[in-house]
Amino acid sequence: MAVRETHRLTRHRPDWKRVALRDGEVVARAAWWGGPDDTTPVNLNWFDVAEGEEEAGAELLRTSPWQVEIELNLPPGWRDDPALRAAAEARLTAVRAAGYDLLVERFLYRWTPECGLPERPGRLVFRPEPDDAVFSDALRRIHSLTLDAHALIAIEQGGLEQAAREELDFFRWCPSPREWWQIAYTPRGEPVGMHIPAHNPAGPCVGFIGVLPQQRGHGYAYDLLAECTHYLVERGAQFVAGATDQGNFPMAANFAKAGYPVVRERVNFHLPQA
């Protein structure tokens, strides 16, 4: 899906939009986004500036009442096309000038039926688990060796407990059933990890894939991703979105193996802690 089409389908509230004007002409514009029940924006995911107006864009961000994370969605391989790179660099320059630091660059994926369902290896048993404490414990253990940039920030700020809590808060925020959360086991009953099939406000997605530290090295993340995909499709999903940090090479390889094409790249910025 093209970036333009994605934004066309994204609903931004009119009171969460701002523009910068010069002599009556719009030279920068931004739109903040949140879920239907959120009272303040979760992030900024639409931002562009006219040629040579990077400082106007930076001032638009500096003076915003919402100082939240920024997500800039870009076409795949944008660095390889001079025109796309120039347009992206103008936005990135404005964001940095506004005081934001680069957090991470990510790959965004979108599976559709044309991709074919990934094969289920059949090595694991998947069960729902009603006790949130089981998931919280698994998340703390998974994040003890995480490569995820957002989790690493949470760990730096408040330890593994905060990282696990933020993940659980996101799962609860999603408008998908709690009953979908699953723990994976070996046939002998040893816990392996967890997967969270989810719906965010934009549709079905891979909410989380995680393998416990003692079970790594066996390729189980692919098993979890394949099961998550099947689970969502069996419940009517016509597409499944996914994402991973570009530096998380093992997970990127699993998405490729499962037939998920990269449809966008995302650059995330955040404000440094005071």
- C-alpha dihedral over 229, 70, 153, 271, to 10 degrees? 180
Q: What is the pLDDT along the chain (274 residues), one digit of tens a residue?
A: 333 444 444 567 899 999 999 999 999 999 999 988 899 999 999 999 999 999 999 999 999 999 999 999 999 999 999 999 999 999 999 999 999 999 999 999 999 999 999 999 999 999 999 999 999 999 999 999 999 999 999 999 999 999 999 999 999 999 999 999 999 999 999 999 999 999 998 899 999 999 999 999 999 999 999 999 999 999 999 999 999 999 999 999 999 999 999 999 999 999 987 6
- For residue 119, the model assigns a pLDDT of 97
Contacts within 8 Å (CB) and 24+ apart, 249-258 = 250/147, 250/221, 251/147, 251/209, 251/221, 252/107, 254/209, 254/221, 254/222, 254/225, 255/107, 255/109, 255/225, 257/118, 257/222, 258/111, 258/118, 258/222, 258/225, 258/226, 258/229
Contact 117, 229 (CB under 8 A): yes
pTM: 0.91
- For residue 274, the model assigns a pLDDT of 60
- For residue 114, the model assigns a pLDDT of 97
- For residue 30, the model assigns a pLDDT of 97
